[in-house]
Amino acid sequence: MPAKPRIRSVETIAESRLFRIEELHLTFSNGVERVYERMVGDYPDSVIIAPFLDNETLLMIREYSAAIDAYELTLPKGLVDDGEDFFEAANRELQEEIGYRAGDLDYLCPLRIAPGYIDHTSHVIRATGLSPSRLPGDEPEALEIVPCNIGDIDDIIAREDVTDARTIATLYLVNRQ
């Protein structure tokens, strides 16, 4: 593996309330120079949860995705709040988004979201032993709960409204368990 590139300079080129965009001027070990951009900010980790009502029935949600201006079929997910561990965050998000609490939570793996541009990790959690329990959430509208059979994973992933990479990766991860 070659040595990491040398950062010649860093310049902030844009900023919002959520992040700033930096331009990195790099020199690679072979002498090639490039300019990369990255989003920098204080990004708390997040969780994405695959909640199973039984061995086959996965509960997905339909929610609005502002960046693509469309409704997506996805999995419950959200940020890990200060003082929470991954399991506490997963159970809170489940109660807020689908109205269930998990009796069993299994950590599967971390996923990096576009590591070439942003340093953010989403942790994949499998939730079973669900029982009804509701917490108020921060969604602007009620989320539609869509039961899906995990055996139909190919059909689920082929849907036009399933495009979130974290959701697709999580579906494959829980299907192989």
The pLDDT tens digits for 59-99 are 999 999 988 889 999 999 999 999 999 999 999 999 999 99
| Signed CA dihedral, 63, 165, 152, 98: sign only | negative
Continuous segment of H or E residues that includes residue 72: strand 70-74
pLDDT tens, residue by residue, 124-174 = 999 999 999 999 988 888 899 999 999 999 999 999 999 999 999 999 999
Q: Whole-prediction pTM value?
A: 0.86
Q: Which of 59, 71, 20, 57 is nearest to 41 (CA)?
A: 20
Give me the residues paired with residue 65 across strands: 70
C-alpha to C-alpha distance for 46 and 113, rounded to whole angstroms: 11
